[in-house]
Amino acid sequence: MILVADSGSTTTNWCMIGPDNNRFYFDTEGYNPYTTDTQYIKKSILAYLPNQVNAATASAVYFYGSGCFDDKVQVVLDALAPIFFNAVLYVGLDLLGTARAVLGNSPGFAAILGTGTNSCLYDGEQITHNIDSLGHLLGDEGSGYYMGKIFLGDFIRGYMPAAVRDEFIHTYGLTREAIMDRLYTQPLPNRFCAGFTSFLSTSRADAGYTRNIVQTAFALFFNNLVTHYPEYTQYSFNCTGSVGYAFKDVLAETANRYHMQVGTIIKTPIEGLVEYHARTLKK
């Protein structure tokens, strides 16, 4: 039995692949080693691990996660090792997981547009070029965090259209003071900001206003990241992530405006990753 996991900043999607290729899917919290430590990750996995998953019988665990750069891999390995003590462990960047999910063994361009963002060129096996998204403090253009930041800034500054403001207050009951407290005194402000993308996708109080926020964030993602990849227009635009999927019509329009054909846009890479590793099992 092997386990495949794709971890964003908010949610980790898991799949257990059994000896007969039977599959069992479940979710836990998201784990980013830049914001959560080994003990937290270990306790959370144990708390969420379903009874159907016998950790002792796992022969391998393939964990792809946001923030799992070389200098942070050990944080996650140390959390997994006591739980899956009989398994061979692999921890890699979520971006590599996305590339393998949407491109398989074919070269191309792949991106993540979720709570945060990332992007790369991929040669069919490994990432060959990556422009740093800089995380939510310095970058993450195009992400749910970035959209939420614009949205909340408009609310606090009084720039938000009255109809949207009224709907926002009715939906969340938040005040300026409550928002500032949540952002500056409590953990994981990026998740808090990204949580408002659901409002942007469903609100009809002023569709032009909410759509413009999404368009602005995606345009900045292309301007500051995508267009800086060498010969980027020769690739199709392939993407995973809840934000890219929720606003895939706007994303497709933006990609076309920057002369990129649209390839695969899916919500999560877990299905593609399961197929990728299932093929490996058969070899």
Tens digits of residue pLDDT in 135-182? 888 989 999 999 999 999 999 999 999 999 999 999 999 999 999 999
Cβ-contact 87, 61 below 8 angstroms: yes
| Range(s) of the domain holding residue 92 | 2-99+269-282
pLDDT at 34: 85
pLDDT of residue 255: 97
Q: For residue 37, what is the domain's CATH number?
A: 3.30.420.40
Dihedrals φ, ψ of 127, to 5°?
-75, 130
pLDDT of residue 281: 64
Residue 80 counted as domain residue: yes
Q: 92 lies in a domain? A: yes
90 lies in some domain:
yes
The token pair at 251 is 């994303």
Per the domain annotation, does 133 fall within a domain? no
Is 283's pLDDT higher than 70? no
In this predicted structure, the answer to whether residue 278 has a pLDDT above a threshold of 80 is yes
Mean pLDDT value across residues 64-79: 93
For the chain, the domain total comes to 1
56, part of any domain: yes
Residue 105, pLDDT above cutoff 80: yes
pLDDT tier for residue 134 given thresholds of 50, 70 and 90: confident
- Check pLDDT > 90 for residue 74: yes
**In the predicted structure, residue 245 carries a pLDDT above the cut 90:** yes
**Is 108 within a domain?**
no
25 has which bridge partners?
A: 15
Q: Is 14 a member of any domain? A: yes
Dump the DSSP string for 100-135. HHHHTTS-EEEEEESSSEEEEEE-SSSEEE-----H
Tell me if 219 is assigned to some domain.
no
- What are the DSSP calls for the chain, one per residue? -EEEEEE-SSEEEEEEE-TTS-EEEEEEE---TTTS-HHHHHHHHHHH--TT--GGG-SEEEEEETT--TTTHHHHHHHHTTTSTTSEEEEEEHHHHHHHHHHTTS-EEEEEESSSEEEEEE-SSSEEE-----HHHH--TTSHHHHHHHHHHHHHHT-S-HHHHHHHHHHH---HHHHHHHHHHSS-HHHHHHTTHHHHHH--TTHHHHHHHHHHHHHHHHHHTGGGSTTGGGS-EEEESHHHHHTHHHHHHHHHHTT--EEEEES-SHHHHHHHHHHHHH-
